[in-house]
Amino acid sequence: MNGSVTISLEDYHSFIDSSVQNKKGREKLMKTAKELGVFLSYLASREDIKKHVQSFNVQSTTSKIEFEGNKAVISLRTDI
């Protein structure tokens, strides 16, 4: 399907700016998830928290924590 849309130049620039802000926000979110994964990995090596992580995964609607060996990996759920 082909078509066209007319928007003001101001709206176009707002759209572009919001896209850039969205990308920066996602990058910050991913960095935060990695930092939290490092912290969880540290905790997991000190105490058995895996049962608590499983409970979190059941309740969480936006993220999931998985262990790869002693490394904790936080991922965003794509099924939301």
Condensed to tens digits (0 to 9), the pLDDT of residues 12-27 reads 999 999 999 999 999 9
Return mean pLDDT, the chain: 86
18 domain residue, yes or no: yes
Q: Give the tens place of pLDDT for each residue, 28-64.
A: 888 888 888 888 887 777 677 878 888 888 999 888 8
pLDDT given at position 80: 52
**Nearest to 41, CA basis, from 77, 80, 70, 3:** 70
Asked if 79 and 57 touch (Cβ cutoff 8 Å), the reply is no
pTM for the model stands at 0.56
- The first and second tokens of residue 20, run together, are 């850039």
Task: Return the sign of the alpha-carbon dihedral for residues 45, 47, 48, 53.
Answer: negative
Domain that holds residue 32: 9-76
**Domain tally for the chain?**
1
1 domain residue, yes or no: no
